[in-house]
Amino acid sequence: MRKFSDWPIWLRLTGAIWTCLVLAWGGLIAWETQASREIAVEQAKDLAHSMNEMTLAGLTGMMITGTVGQRDVFLDQIRELSAVRDLRVIRGDAVSKQFGPGSAGDKARPGDETERAALRDGKPHIQIESTPQLGEHLRVVYPALASANYLGKNCLACHQVADKTPLGVVSMRISLENPSDTIGVRNNIACSRIFSNEKFKSLQLLTI
């Protein structure tokens, strides 16, 4: 192989230009990957927020109509959604003391410190997690706080608690796998376009 200093000036300029283009393209891909990931996470957060409201609205309706004993049918349908990896509704101490532990058994009890923390402080807990079984996902735990007007209903009319008391939590996991796969495929296509370019191939041959 010839030394770089022995190359013709036009070839050195072409090589420098292509090097800059490859670096710029690589930087663009890295930036787009990060931006797309952030968008995917924000979309998952929006979905989790909507799922939380839908779950609580459904359960509230079942409480009013006296069919809350069939809540597992409703929750199982939500779990079947493609982006939902897990969904659990956990009773708070105030609800258990007034109405009993319910019929869900261990499923209605806090499973980890994240769920217990949401029951204690009454604040949403959102974080990205990854497990072999579920892959990368957004872990979201929303507390259900007693309110005189939540989704048009007065929680305090049935629950004998103070305003803003955590009645329970909705714990869910929203998949981030599909957006990540899409990003990876798009990046592979971009890279293949660079290195399959005829001019790039010609430059490689000239440097041998």
- Average pLDDT on 163-184 reads 78
- Average pLDDT on 32-59 reads 86
| Size of the chain in residues | 208
DSSP string, 148-169: SSBTTB-GGGTS-S-TT-EEEE
Query: Mean pLDDT score of the chain, rounded to an integer?
Result: 80
- Average pLDDT on 90-108 reads 76
With CA atoms as reference, report the closest residue to 150 among 48, 83, 63. Answer: 63
Burial class (CB in 10 A: 0-12, 13-18, 19+), 122: middle
- Average pLDDT on 60-83 reads 88
* Higher per-residue confidence, 48 vs 25: 48
Sequence spans of domains, the chain: 33-181
Side chain identity at residue 81, one-letter code: L
Architecture of domain 33-181: 2-Layer Sandwich (3.30)
Give CA–CA dist 50/39, Å, rounded.
Answer: 17
- Is residue 74 pLDDT above 50, yes or no? yes
pTM above 0.75, yes or no: no
- Average pLDDT on 149-172 reads 90
**Under a CB-based contact definition with an 8 Å cutoff, are residues 102 and 70 in contact?**
no
Instruction: Identify the band that residue 134 occupies on the pLDDT scale cut at 50, 70 and 90.
Output: confident
With CA atoms as reference, report the closest residue to 140 among 118, 177, 173. Answer: 173
With CA atoms as reference, report the closest residue to 83 among 143, 142, 130, 138. Answer: 138
With CA atoms as reference, report the closest residue to 86 among 181, 175, 166. Answer: 175
